[in-house]
Structure 1
Amino acid sequence: MESVQSFFVLCISILVTALVLKQAKKWLLGHLRMSSAMKNVPGPDTFPILGNALDFIIRPQNQYLNEIERITKAHHPLFRLWNGPFLCTVHTSSWKYAEKIFNNSVHIEKYMFYEFLQPWLGTGLLTSTGDKWHSRRKLLTPGFHRAVLDSTHDVITEKSAQLIEILESKGKASQAFDIAPLIWQCSLDIICETAMGTKMNLQSEIRQRNVAYTEAVKEAMSSFVRRCVRPWLHPKIIHDLSPTGRKFNKCVKIMHNFTDKVIKTRKEEYSKLLRASMDNGDGKAHEARAINTKRKAFLDILIEAAYPEGYEKKPILSDEDIREEVSTFMFEGHDTTASAIAWTLYLLGHHPDIQEKVFEEVERVFGSNLVATSEKVSELRLLERCIKESLRLYPSVPFIGRKLKEDLNLGEYTIPSNTGVFVLIYFLHRDPEIFPQPEKFNPDNFLPQACEKRPPYAYVPFSAGPRNCIGQKFAMIEEKIVLSHILKNFRIESIDKPQDLKVLIDVIIRAEDGIKIRLHPRM
């Protein structure tokens, strides 16, 4: 009997060893092929073992953008970077190469760095791929139908009015201050009520947990970038034991506590409304699914998908499934939008002539009553061009990384499958051949005749192709309404000059010291 057991142990050991060796051989052949291909791709000189990672490790994070700019100018439109001895990525600032990435349903998988966000966002819409991404995208798309978006105007208007009340005290003081945290708080308040269906009153009732959530998001993004540029932090076990990992995981706990509260509140409301509806009807769950006849929130869609046969049945989507989509959309839905609003204010504050023209447009469209409708919002054409120009200069998401699923020719170079390719949106938007005077704030870049002449992938603040941002229309509506309220009530004066700003490239682009402005009441 003992000899038989020994024989089986030996067979299993041989099988495991063979599988390990097979995988090791596959990895080695892939690495050798990738290394050979990367020899032909231009890029900065490398250091032993660390590759190009040392160029970033020795610098503070507020200099990362300057370093990437230096490399981009030296090697436009394509260059490679070695992150340690085994990991090499390709980076492009060319719309022609970006088109080959975005306009291809094969290359929709996010690069491995996005896996570092999974403890926070799980495998939600941002980080998932394959069948899961397709099914979730299809499930959530109805939540962004025009009728649903139109129904959010009242909430955005209400939250914008609350923001104005907070800003009035700042205007009376006539002192410079950082407006970014207040914009972030307003945007989070909006996303909780419009997309999650949960009235949080974050602005009117500032609580420590709300401030903690926004601070945790900021810290988590910084920790994410720190991990990306340090190859020894890539393995999860090492990262989690490091100070960076401990800080990141602490932030994740804070953010999950916040999103869990949002989900719990809405699920309790769902349960009450569903049961009340069933008690008054014939007991058919499918007749009681629409829990909000005025507006079905993003979270409602997830809850209904989880309980297709009724709340008393076992859910199809787990609490974790719901949380990862809620975490993803609360992050992407408030942080990116708030960034766009803050940067637009900053740029308008440096261009008082354009700012006054936008103010006149807001006055003409709304008159004395800032009640938003889809028709009025669509008439804010100059403001929309200003927002788009702001997103050109300071795109909320400055870089996007994809993992190639098959070999791809970019110009004279063949980039092998499994290589990470990053589209540098921040620099793509500053291509002087596409945007003359690329550093200048010029809303005329988005006049219809200018847009018609421009290649479609030369401006991609919301990504493009099959994986474009699902919430971009919602973002534009929110940005227009919030900005209209601010500009109608105040004249904006920006303090820091563009050359003095320290721009941080986290997942979301932001100014290290905030967006400092001075408010001048209009009445």
Structure 2
Amino acid sequence: MMVSFLFQLAGVIAAADPTVDDRTNSDFSYSSGSVMFGFCFLTLAFAIAVKFYIDHQTKRKQNQDAVPGFPSPPNSHWLFGHLIVLHSGGGGLRPDGSPKTFIDGYQAVYVKHADPDSGRGSFWFFTVPAVYLTRGKDVKAVLSASSYRAPTTVVEIHTKQFLGKKALVNLMGKEWRLYRSAVHKSFTPKAIQQSQHIIDRVGSVLTDTLLAQVETAPSKQLTMQVLPIMKMATMDVFGVAAFNFDFRCTETLTLSPVAAAFEYLGKEYTRRLKSPWDIASWWYDLPTPANRQYKRQKNIIRTFVRNQIQEERRKLATGNVTDEVASASSGSTSLTTTTTSDVLANLVKAADSEAAKEGNAASNDEALGDVLMTLLFGGYDTTSITLSYALYLLAKHPDYQSHCIKEIEAVFGSGNGQPSKSDDDSGSGASRNIGPDQLPYMKAVIMETLRLYPPAPLTSRTLEKGIQLPPVPNSEQKPQSLEQGQLIMLPIWCIQRDPHNFPHPDEMLPGRWVQKSKSSENIPGHSPWKDRPYNEGDDDRTSLSVPPSNETIPAGNRDAFCAFAAGGRNCVGRVLAMQEAVTLLASLIRRLKFELVASDYQVRPTNAAVIQQPSDGLPMIISKR
């Protein structure tokens, strides 16, 4: 209003200037002096208005909590709120001389200034007041109450370019429920069971390839970044499981053209999200070198996805569904003994069924491609990041690694990586389905890895209706409620490292999730471990007086474990992701040794857009076990 008033006032002053000659022109005209005066006045007025707005926002954010009743950190920026601090702890260096990262920012905003009894607080997300929660019961209440995420313009623009307009991460309401239901139905028990054979084969091929390189190395060992290797493995698994296509990345230890295109788009997604000030990054139609390269790589993978959908539809129409897996090397097909997955077939059927209702096949084909891109994005980065951190943690904890080897040998036998003959009733030596349920200790290692290093360190919800938060134990604090429309941030990284949720949170303790099994100990083909049950309220999670050990640590708090999220927007592929991570990890460490490059090496997670990952690709020394 002030700016509008000042502009009107400037116009009146200029119009009243005595230099106006209305004898020769019926309209107002201005001398050069009056024009300059008006311009200067408008500039000054605009500057005053901007300063008034900045001062107002600064005082507003400094003198009150973002949300009343929820404490806020100080030093909020008038425009960006606390995002500058969240991004990198406000900049600067740590005591050890290393640069601050998002971990320091999370500590400064979500931990240091939270209410000590409830772990609740608020902060400014740009100019929007947001609440954050860090305790298990609060997290469970919010995730159960709402599946809605209000779109963030910056993220939405780049996500639509990368994954498509119908990407599951962008969809809301009825449309989201429709496509999520189709995806959920595609991950049938049959599809999950069939995927086990695919994961086994990829793990075996990757191990063989690495062993061959180890044998030819002069020192009989390799120093390699494990994150890129794990990405190749997850790409191969998804290629066969979803597309019936073998990218052969693990066979050659190089990315196929399609895999390389997806990797490029992912890196560009991160770069553009982290450079909001780069105007060219927002306008994808500008003829810049980066945008032209982006379009070329996007066309490669979109053409591939479109062709696979059309091929699957042709098979369904003719009833000619075989066990053919296309090869990335020649484009030809080769029959395999592996039963291919029906994930793509189920998705095509669901999309065609919806197209018949709406009469818009082209739109549903586009949506189907976007859904597949979303699934690839979800499985490619998250599982590979988890596997990389798991190898790092096992290298730091050789005692846990020895437990893993003991379990693998108990279940598989002590052979060359193939199950023993006793594993198969027919005596053919063929593999039975061995996954997380048969390898509980390995699963516990993955669970603890996900707790310590969740690939997605943050999630959010916007309440569709008001809720009342659970009472705070052992506190006289009055009950707190949140109104409809409230933005809520759930910092998964902090939640899973909160001592109120997980005592001794920075310690890797697989015993949170697993315990010794007396009934199956020393029984061939069975693990000497079993899943640890969790009974809410059986233990005091706030007590840190007992020295940490796998025997004394309380069972893992399922309410506070949210690496896969929960509620309506939980990870639809979580069962397959756990199966893939456990199986690949078991295949790798059974025949290979992964060691730290130095005894004092410490991994440094870095924020890569919506995920976090090792900043250096996690170099490790690989040798034969």
> TM-score, normalising length from structure 2?
0.67
1:127 matched to 2:170? The reply is yes
1:452 matched to 2:517? The reply is no
1:223 matched to 2:268? The reply is no
Q: Which structure ranks higher in relative contact order (CA pairs < 8 Å, sequence separation ≥ 6)?
A: 1
Distance of aligned partners of 1:134 and 1:208 in 2 relative to their CA distance in 1, 3 Å threshold: closer
| CA drift at 1:469 | 0.8
Find the partner of 2:149 among 109, 116, 119. Answer: 109
Find the partner of 2:121 among 55, 58, 79. Answer: 79
1:86-115 per-position Cα deviation (integer Å, ceiling 9, x unaligned): 3333332222221221111x4433542652
Find the partner of 2:311 among 269, 291, 295. Answer: 269
Q: How do 1:78-477 residues align onto structure 2 when only pairs under 5 Å count? A: 78-84=120-126, 86-104=127-145, 106-112=146-152, 114-116=155-157, 117-121=159-163, 122-172=165-215, 173=217, 174-204=221-251, 206-207=254-255, 209-210=257-258, 212-223=260-271, 225-226=273-274, 240-241=282-283, 253=295, 256-274=298-316, 276-277=318-319, 294-308=339-353, 315=361, 317-367=363-413, 368=415, 369-370=418-419, 372-375=431-434, 377-410=436-469, 414-447=481-514, 448-449=531-532, 451-453=534-536, 455-477=557-579
Q: Which amino acid aligns with 2:121?
A: F
Contact 1:120/1:252 (8 A) holds in 2: no
1:134-158 per-position Cα deviation (integer Å, ceiling 9, x unaligned): 1112222222121211111221122
Contact 1:402/1:422 (8 A) holds in 2: yes
In structure 1, how many angstroms separate the alpha carbons of the residues matched to 2:190 and 2:107? 42
| CA drift at 1:185 | 0.9
Q: Which amino acid aligns with 2:582?
A: K
Contact 2:460/2:489 (8 A) holds in 1: yes
SS in 2 for 1:75: coil
1:323-369 per-position Cα deviation (integer Å, ceiling 9, x unaligned): 21011001102211111111111111111111111012112211221
1:51 aligned partner: 81
Contact 2:435/2:579 (8 A) holds in 1: no
Q: Which runs of 5+ in 2 are unaligned?
A: 1-56, 93-98, 321-337, 420-429, 473-478, 515-530, 537-555
| CA drift at 1:515 | 1.6
Contact 1:267/1:303 (8 A) holds in 2: yes
Q: How many residues align?
A: 466
1:489 matched to 2:591? The reply is yes
Contact 2:462/2:485 (8 A) holds in 1: yes
Contact 1:126/1:328 (8 A) holds in 2: yes
Distance of aligned partners of 1:90 and 1:166 in 2 relative to their CA distance in 1, 3 Å threshold: farther
1:65 aligned partner: 103
Distance of aligned partners of 1:210 and 1:262 in 2 relative to their CA distance in 1, 3 Å threshold: closer
Q: Which amino acid aligns with 2:580?
A: E
SS in 2 for 1:457: coil
Distance of aligned partners of 1:330 and 1:219 in 2 relative to their CA distance in 1, 3 Å threshold: same
In structure 2, how many angstroms separate the alpha carbons of the residues matched to 1:351 and 1:407? 45
> Whose helix fraction is larger, Structure 1's or Structure 2's?
1
| CA drift at 1:67 | 1.6
Contact 2:106/2:494 (8 A) holds in 1: no
> TM-score, normalising length from structure 1?
0.79
| CA drift at 1:505 | 2.5
* Aligned residues with identical type, % of pairs: 20
- Which 10-residue stretch deviates more, 193-202 or 154-163? 193-202
1:475-510 per-position Cα deviation (integer Å, ceiling 9, x unaligned): 111112111110111122123678833211232220
1:504 matched to 2:602? The reply is no
- Which 10-residue stretch deviates more, 158-167 or 443-452? 443-452
| CA drift at 1:388 | 0.4
Q: Which amino acid aligns with 2:148?
A: I
Tell which structure's C-alpha radius of gyration is larger. 2
Distance of aligned partners of 1:141 and 1:403 in 2 relative to their CA distance in 1, 3 Å threshold: same
In structure 2, how many angstroms separate the alpha carbons of the residues matched to 1:72 and 1:298? 39
Q: Which runs of 5+ in 1 are unaligned?
A: 1-30, 279-292
